[in-house]
Structure 1
Amino acid sequence: MSKPVIAITRPKDRAKKACEIVEKLGGEAFLAPTLDLEPVNSQSLKDLVAKKDELDWLIFTSPTTIVSLKKFHPDFLKDLNCKLAVIGNKTGKLAEKQGLTVDLMPEEFTAEGLIEEFKRQGITGKTIGIPRTASARPILPEELEKLGNKVILAEAYKSLFPMDEKAVQNLIGKIENKEIDAITFTSPLTVENFFEIVDDKEKIAELLSNNLLTVCIGPITAKVLDKYDIANIYPNTYTVPDMMELLFEELNR
């Protein structure tokens, strides 16, 4: 019996673990990143670093933020005199690897989950730094400001259109030829960029609904798939391992 082929669309530098899980669970990973990430030493990041001592809270929403700070401002991560909030296990583990203490990680690994936790704890009147990508959704800083906090946003990395468009075109061909058993999406941009490259969007959306299993990491990404009328599933815990476990459970039914 041939191994199921699972398409991985997440950025290449963050796809290794996903590919390893696919192979461990008995599948074959096909990597076609529909999003690339590039750390940047923006002026806003420099400004945030300069205000290190003013911060009451620092929020890391992804591992790439930590990678960027470590690359451009390694001293910033030393002797942080503020509380740290993170979204997601992977981000938390990388922060701890840098010797940082994670004070808050919401049960739901989304901006909304973190906002609810800040509300529950009554965190207000604080200065909060959020280094992230400029293309991130605005809900986190907006809601934290509504709670009476001062938010300092900084661009720590860029979310780029796929640099290897040929790999995505190859994926589309494999989807049309029924050579892909399941596809995974780990952020709204992985979906949007994929459909930017697709010519016949209606046809591919129908194939993703009816000819293969479409799995995403959580409800925020699912909303974008819903926009294209693509049937999809996501795990109760929004992590890559949980997403893959769910995927193989469905395939093995």
Structure 2
Amino acid sequence: MSKPVVAITRPYDRAKKACEIVKELGGEPVLAPTLDLQPVNTKSLKELVKKQDELDWIVFTSPTTIVSLNEFHPEFLKTLDCKIAVIGNKTGKVANEYGLTVDLVPDNFTAEGLVEEFKKQNIKNQVVGVPRTLSARPTLVDGLKELDNEVIVAEAYRSLFPMDKIKVERLIEQIKNNEIDAITFTSPLTVENFFKIVVEEEKISNLLSEEVITVAIGPITGKVLEEHDISYIYPDTYTVRDMLELLFKVYNGEQNG
């Protein structure tokens, strides 16, 4: 039986582990990032650093926020003296690697899940720092503000259109030629940027629905796939490993898609 060919659309700096898991599970990864991430030392990030002593909480929404702060303001991380919330185990692991102690990880690895956890724990009237990309959904910031928290948003990195469009264009041709067995999307932007490059949208949407196992990391990403009329699956726990393990169960006929 030939190895399933699995397309990974994650940014380069986050794709290595996903490719390793695909190989571990018996597949062949094809890396075609539809998103690039660029750490930036913006004015808003510098302002957040200046207000370090005012923070009651800081929220890290992705590993890239921590990497960016370490690159431009390493002393900030070393001397951080507030509670830390993260979205997802991966972000929590990276935080630990930089010597940070995580106080809160929501069961649901989404902005909605974190806001719900703040509600449950009655975390109100706090000063909360949120370094992130400005292209992120407003859900987290709005939700925290609704709890009467003061939210300091800082741009820590930029989510860019993929620099290497050729890889994505090649992937699209492979999909047309039935050379791809499955494709994974790990954020709304990975889907949106993919379809900015697609020319024959209806054809590709049909192929992703009918000929390819299309997997989203969670329902938020899935909603964007729905906008393109694509049938998809997603795991109960929104992690890359769970997403890929589900993919292989469906491919091997161990679970219905």
- Structure 1 length normalisation: TM-score? 0.99
The residue number in structure 2 matching 1:91 is 91
CA offset digits 1:16-40 (Å, max 9, x no partner): 0000000010000000000000000
1:51-83 superposed Cα distances (whole Å, 9 cap, x missing partner): 000000000000000000000000000121110
Gaps of 5+ in 2: none
Question: Which residue of structure 2 aligns with residue 118 of structure 1?
Answer: 118
**Distance in 2 between the 1:187 and 1:132 partners?**
14
Partner of 1:36: 36
What is aligned with 1:61? 61
Partner SS, residue 38 of structure 2: strand
Q: Residue 214 of structure 1 corresponds to which residue in structure 2?
A: 214
TM-superposed CA distance for 1:46, in Å, is 0.2
Structure 1 stretches of 4+ moved >2 Å? none
Map 1:11-30 to 2 at 5 A: 11-30=11-30
| Partners of 1:12 and 1:96 in 2: CA distance | 22
Output the CA distance in 2 between the equivalents of 1:8 and 1:99.
Answer: 30
Aligned pair count reads 253
Q: Which residue of 2 aligns with 1:195?
A: 195
Shift of 1:243: 0.3
Per-residue CA deviation, residues 2-22 of structure 1 (Å, 9 max, x unaligned), is 111000000011100000000
- Using the size of structure 2 for normalisation, the TM-score is 0.98
Trace 1:76-225 onto structure 2 (pairs within 5 A): 76-225=76-225
Structure 1: segments with no counterpart, 5+ residues: none
Other structure's SS at 1:6 match: strand
- 1:46 is matched with which residue? 46
Distance of 1:89 and 1:147 partners within structure 2? 25
Matched, 1:251 2:251: yes
Partner of 1:74: 74
Structure 2 CA distance, aligned partners of 1:15 and 1:52?
Answer: 32
